[in-house]
Structure 1
Amino acid sequence: MNKQRTLAALRVRRITLPLIALATLAAAILSVACADDAQQAESEQPTRVAQTVEQVEQQQAMEQQAAQQESYAMVDQQQTAQTAVAEYEHQQQAEQEAMQEQAQQEQAAAYPSSGGGQSQQETSTFRPSPGATTFEDYPTIGWRVTVDDDTSTFSLDVDRTSYFLALNWVEAGYAIEPASVRAEEWINAFDYHYDLPDVDDSFAVTTDILEHPLHDDLHLVRIATQAPEFVDDTPLNVTLVLDASGSMQEGNRVEIARAAAESIRSGLGSDDRIAVVLFSDSIVDSESHQPPDDRDIRRIIERLRPTGSTNVQAGLNLGVRFADEIRRERPNAHNHVVLMSDGVANVDATDPFAILRTAEDRDDSNPLRLITVGVGIANYNDVLLEQLAQYGNGWYRYLQDVNQARSTFSRENWLALSVPFADQARAQVRWDHESVAAWRLVGYENRVTADHNFEQDRKEFAEIPMGSATTVFFEVELSDTAISKGLVDLGEVELRWLTPMSSESNRQQVWMVSSISRFGDDGFLDLGSVVALAADRYSWFGQDGLSGETMALAADHIRELASRFANLPEDIVNSRAAVDFGKLLFSMGAIAGGHESENPGYSR
């Protein structure tokens, strides 16, 4: 407090002393002016006693003019002094504003390490959400008491679109839309360097227990599945369905889609085949499957231009027809239909399930895999693209710019993504009653399913490309007995999936036994926990019916997680992925700041 008063006194002296000097200078100028005018008036007094009336009148006019000039001089000198004072004050204000701006920038840069704590008005420079965006706000998953419910069943997931969509928003100056946050897609956006399995026909499954970074009485359980990598010479049948509607003219959407399409085409081999469909309110142009270097294929990709409305149904119907025809001709190839769009369907069917019904694939033995690729910020339908991929036996990606389009669909990446290891992959976790008193799944809200569905092969269960990893976090309450043991027996996890091409059913059971790690023992485990909990807590801000106390708790948690993130090992924090996540944490903190409590009290 004394330091603040001293600084305030110094600022007052810094401003007051120059003002006094300026005022003294102005008074001196006025005094000299008055003395000169008086001297001039005395010299002009008449020396003759007798004057004519005309001379008297002339003298009076001269005196009035002199008085008027004196008045003008005083006004000019006052204005000069006032202008000098105003300019000085303006300069001082500009310097103070510059200092404040610099301090805010330094605070923003330091936010992840300091945890912020500022209100939204003080830290947020983000614009409101862009217009015409469509997201599905899935209700968060609550806690389960193990004696009442000991089983969690859900589809595996390798999508990461929610994360990169949020990153694109923040880099464009927008605040993150809480409804857009799917925690599992944030978690799975990061590489945690899992070991590959020893064999090529099953997953590597690891289980870890971590002290909870927010609650002393809780723990986190991480379950990770890693698919194998292998050489697969199976040829590819690829059908590109490209949105050429008017909404694609916004920003550089067309350039991104064209770059991705050209990267896919150029990455294919001579044994592969590719078709292209351009659509707007109807089919703009198309070419059935040809070798990848075909001149007409290249011409149609280059011809992609925005015009008209958006009839996704028409584009997919023709694309699926082309894909089914080439599948019959080449039954031993993998089949992919790639839809690139902003998802804003406004002609014919606009619901994802209605679109899928008209473009239904009835051959489950060698399915068509619908991959959706989203582009754009405003005027964007995330729900349509996400649901088409989930129920179309494929996966969903989001592209920020041309460079990401080229890298995502480079030959190396595309060939890895296009080779499936598992179809309709799902997991079921069965908790041990004696070790786990209660549990809660983080994220996966639109991937959970009824326990009895685990026995069924369903299209909404995920396709897992070779080499892909899936990470799942649970918040758990362990029993005192389990904590006291060196190793904790958590229960078991079972995986089920179909082998692509053969549709052979597979199952893999793993007992979950692990020791308890402290935060700081494993940097990648710590990173995953921060990402998982930050995304989960931020998603609460988009849900209706949650109390102000719950919102304050979420805000306090995000602040604490930002501090935890800043203390991760330098090689992790300085990585490109972590730097990007730091941007998201700052944006999340700016929004959450308006909900923070004055005295955080952490409880479940």
Structure 2
Amino acid sequence: MRNDSPDPEMERRLRDHFVEEAQDLQAPDDLWDRLESRLGEQQAPRFALLRGALSWTAERPGLAAAAAAVLVVAIGVTVWGLPGQDPALDDADEAATTAASTTTTTATTTTSSVGTTTTADSDSTTTTTQLAVVADDDASEDDAAGDATAETTQSSARVVDTPSTTQATEPATTPTTTPPSVATPAPTPAPPVVTPPAPRADSGSSGTSDDAAMDDSDGMSIADDGMESDGMADGDYDDPMDDGMDADGMEDGMDAPAAAPSPPAESEEPAVRQPPPATTFQDYERTGFVETSVDAVSTFSLDADRTSYFLALNWARNGYTVEPDSVRAEEWINAFDYSYAHPTDDRSFAITGDVVRHPLDADLHLTRIAFQAPEFRDETPLNVTLVLDASGSMAAGNRVAIARTAAEAIRGSLGPDDRIAVVHFTTAVIDQYTVEHSAPGDEDVVWSIGRLNAHDSTNVQAGLDLGVELADAARRERPDAFNYIILMSDGVANVDATDPFAILESAEDTDSRNPLRLITIGVGIENYNDYLLEQLAQHGNGWYRYLDDTEQARETFSRENWLALSTPFADQTRAQVTWDPSVVRSWRIVGYENRVTPDHTFTQDRKEFAELPAGTATTVFYELELHEGAGIPRRFGNVEVRWVEPASGESRSQTTAVTDLAGVSFDGRGDLLRLGAIVGLAADRYSRLSTQVEGQEVDAASVRADLETLRGELDALSSRLGSTEAYRDFAFLLDALIEAAEALAPASGYSR
């Protein structure tokens, strides 16, 4: 809608400059009148950007008229050039939104404050960096688009400023099962002050070159029916889905990087990074060393997620500090490709292991155990149910475009025997856009995906309830198909159930013989609930991924990748390591805090244990204290892995021994083991910057010292792994972690 009270003088000055500026930009001379006319006639989402720009400039008399004119013309040309929509579809979009929610929204003046909220229970702590908003909770589509306008407008005019935290469509919410939270103020996040050390490599060109690749085959293999480890030559990310972590864009196909900051004056102190506002994650209790005389058994669920690492990398690239509570070391480790040997058959894992000296403590050893699933193709048909978040918070950045692109990529990757359904949810389900399971090429499916847009509030429960209902009906109709429910959202649930377990209880799957596998796809930087999405996937028999731009969405769900991701090899997968007390004095698992499970559950087939797609590799590191005089070679213990075979429902297990030399130097087992250890230890040490109990002091100086030592170890790999995208990204991220630890470390007391 037009601005009800524009500044007449400002509008006149804008018009005076318009003809000259429009000519310089090669825009039509009558563009102003044409745009004013179209804005008076249309209410389609694609015009919200220009309406906001006109209002924003007209309300700011201090803005130079020439600059304002350039700004409006540039945005006008951009909006005019976007692909058009049928006005009838625009009307249908508005009608569908009205039908989905009876909430009446009004224009509000929004103010905000940033705060950090911590709620604790007996097991863990949920930390939320909140953006408190004095506004209507139910933001309309125009309100949501207007929120994004200020950021887009500043980017178009190349006005460099601190990232805005003064507006948000929806406030982040903590799980409803936690006690009331207490907010403490936190400053506005600073603009980006660091850029990645090198441009991102194109897809398919990021691996290590032949002459730079290092072989890890010199490590001793684990006795496992002839399955031995071979060379690992890549050292890049575990799969192509994790490329392209750029800033949120502005429109579909426009993935704009964060604006470069203006250099501070010489007298100014460097800007202090802050975590992104309104992000929610779980602070799991860190594990400690366990004496084998007390407990020699370690049991945990395998984990194929890697979202924690890519969230951290994205935050660092956008000028935010990495929140220690968000770091899950196992997801950092499993983000990388270590080129493990594949098993000799399609029904078992290849398990490898190595023991080396610890790079941070001369009194300790480090053990790596890796589980490699076989790579194969399965012709079993698929039932896919897309559950798409159409709430107002999805208007921020490029979230809608990312989700729409991913949904379309999934549809395009399905075969003729597969079926797909679509659900849109906001304050309630948008019934007009619901499509029951149909062939991938069905025009209703294509139409529904294309209608995804941002509207009101977020009722994840309503969306998943209907998604499960449709998926269950498809499962009964096609009992031989695999069933996937794919939730695409920023996780900011604020209507009905907002706790992941309450949502899962509402949308319960009671058929364990052919389970509904819940995949969660996260989008967004600020106003993002990592905890909800991660827990829904973990306890929904699925996995969790993060997408940052439309290109990455296309790569993730390309047909080749989707065929692998949608082919389950192992359900309810868990491992148990039993250490030999005569060799190992004490042990500690690195990461896996929310995957550790009581030893007695190991024989139970439980939904929260991991689903692993075909070709997946999972790596775990242990820190070991050995008895003095432990000989070499030694059998350190045994490892057993158990899982359920998806096709048959049969429970399977595999056992092998952990055998290696004791006393091998850290650089004696190949570059990729060293890289994984550096990544895991860096994540583990950085997470120590978060306190476990109230009033606990953080030894930031010790953390910084460990990170700097690990940086030196990483530098030693640069001549052989430095050409890979994964190495460069992690080197950049590690520098950001060191900077954050340095900011928290106490001053030396010396003058400058």
Same-fold call, TM > 0.5? yes
Do residues 144 (structure 1) and 293 (structure 2) align?
no
- Structure exhibiting the larger radius of gyration computed from Cα positions: 1
Q: 1:557 aligns with which of 706, 723, 726?
A: 706
Higher relative contact order (CA 8 A, sep 6+): 1
Q: Which letter maps to 2:457? A: S
Do residues 159 (structure 1) and 305 (structure 2) align?
yes
Q: 2:471 aligns with which of 323, 328, 336?
A: 323
Could you tell me whether the CA contact under 8 Å between 2:699 and 2:745 is conserved in 1?
no
1:210 matched to which residue of 2? 356
Q: 2:410 aligns with which of 240, 258, 264?
A: 264
Could you tell me whether the CA contact under 8 Å between 1:108 and 1:586 is conserved in 2?
no
Q: 1:305 aligns with which of 441, 453, 461?
A: 453
Instruction: Mark the CA change 1:371 to 1:106 in structure 2 (over 3 Å): closer, same or farther.
Output: closer
2:484 matched to which residue of 1? 336
Q: What is the TM-score of this pair, normalised by structure 2?
A: 0.62
Which SS does the other structure have where 1:590 is aligned?
helix
1:363 matched to which residue of 2? 511
Q: Which letter maps to 2:407? A: A
Could you tell me whether the CA contact under 8 Å between 1:124 and 1:590 is conserved in 2?
no
2:203 matched to which residue of 1? none
Q: Which letter maps to 1:139? A: E
Instruction: Mark the CA change 1:475 to 1:242 in structure 2 (over 3 Å): closer, same or farther.
Output: same
Which SS does the other structure have where 2:699 is aligned?
helix
Do residues 197 (structure 1) and 343 (structure 2) align?
yes
Could you tell me whether the CA contact under 8 Å between 2:377 and 2:564 is conserved in 1?
no
CA distance in 1, matches of 2:559, 2:284: 35
Give 1:422 deviation, angstroms.
0.4
Cα shift readout 1:95-138 (whole Å, capped 9, x = no counterpart): xxxxxxxxxx999969xxxxxxxxxx999756311221101011
Q: Which letter maps to 1:341? A: S
2:728 matched to which residue of 1? 579
1:381 matched to which residue of 2? 529
Give 1:598 deviation, angstroms.
9.1
Could you tell me whether the CA contact under 8 Å between 1:137 and 1:543 is conserved in 2?
no
1:492 matched to which residue of 2? 638
Cα shift readout 1:424-470 (whole Å, capped 9, x = no counterpart): 00000100011111110000000001110111111100001110000
Could you tell me whether the CA contact under 8 Å between 1:437 and 1:478 is conserved in 2?
yes
Instruction: Mark the CA change 1:293 to 1:208 in structure 2 (over 3 Å): closer, same or farther.
Output: same
1:90 matched to which residue of 2? none
CA distance in 1, matches of 2:654, 2:402: 40
1:130 matched to which residue of 2? 276
Could you tell me whether the CA contact under 8 Å between 2:639 and 2:658 is conserved in 1?
yes
Which SS does the other structure have where 1:481 is aligned?
coil
Which SS does the other structure have where 2:629 is aligned?
helix
CA distance in 1, matches of 2:704, 2:362: 18
1:520 matched to which residue of 2? 667
Which SS does the other structure have where 1:310 is aligned?
coil
Cα shift readout 1:362-398 (whole Å, capped 9, x = no counterpart): 1100000000000001111111100100000000001
Q: Which letter maps to 2:692? A: D
Q: Which letter maps to 1:594? A: A
Q: Which letter maps to 2:667? A: G
Could you tell me whether the CA contact under 8 Å between 1:123 and 1:590 is conserved in 2?
no
Q: Which letter maps to 1:519? A: F
Instruction: Mark the CA change 1:579 to 1:448 in structure 2 (over 3 Å): closer, same or farther.
Output: same
Do residues 448 (structure 1) and 591 (structure 2) align?
no
Instruction: Structure 1 unaligned segments of length 5 or more: list them.
Output: 1-104, 111-120, 600-604
| 1:5-154 to 2 correspondences below 5 Å | 127-154=273-300
Do residues 543 (structure 1) and 665 (structure 2) align?
no
Which SS does the other structure have where 1:445 is aligned?
coil
CA distance in 2, matches of 1:106, 1:392: 38
Give 1:544 deviation, angstroms.
3.5
Percent identical: 57
1:249 matched to which residue of 2? 395
Q: 2:557 aligns with which of 409, 422, 427?
A: 409
Could you tell me whether the CA contact under 8 Å between 2:378 and 2:567 is conserved in 1?
yes
CA distance in 2, matches of 1:442, 1:297: 44
Give 1:520 deviation, angstroms.
2.3
2:739 matched to which residue of 1? 590
Do residues 314 (structure 1) and 462 (structure 2) align?
yes
Q: Runs ≥4 in structure 1, deviation > 6 angstroms? A: 105-110, 121-124
Q: 1:511 aligns with which of 657, 662, 683?
A: 657
Could you tell me whether the CA contact under 8 Å between 2:305 and 2:543 is conserved in 1?
yes
Which SS does the other structure have where 1:313 is aligned?
helix
Which SS does the other structure have where 2:578 is aligned?
strand
Instruction: Structure 2 unaligned segments of length 5 or more: list them.
Output: 1-192, 199-266
Give 1:167 deviation, angstroms.
1.0
Instruction: Mark the CA change 1:352 to 1:265 in structure 2 (over 3 Å): closer, same or farther.
Output: same
Between Structure 1 and Structure 2, how many residues are aligned? 483
Q: 1:464 aligns with which of 612, 635, 645?
A: 612
2:434 matched to which residue of 1? 286
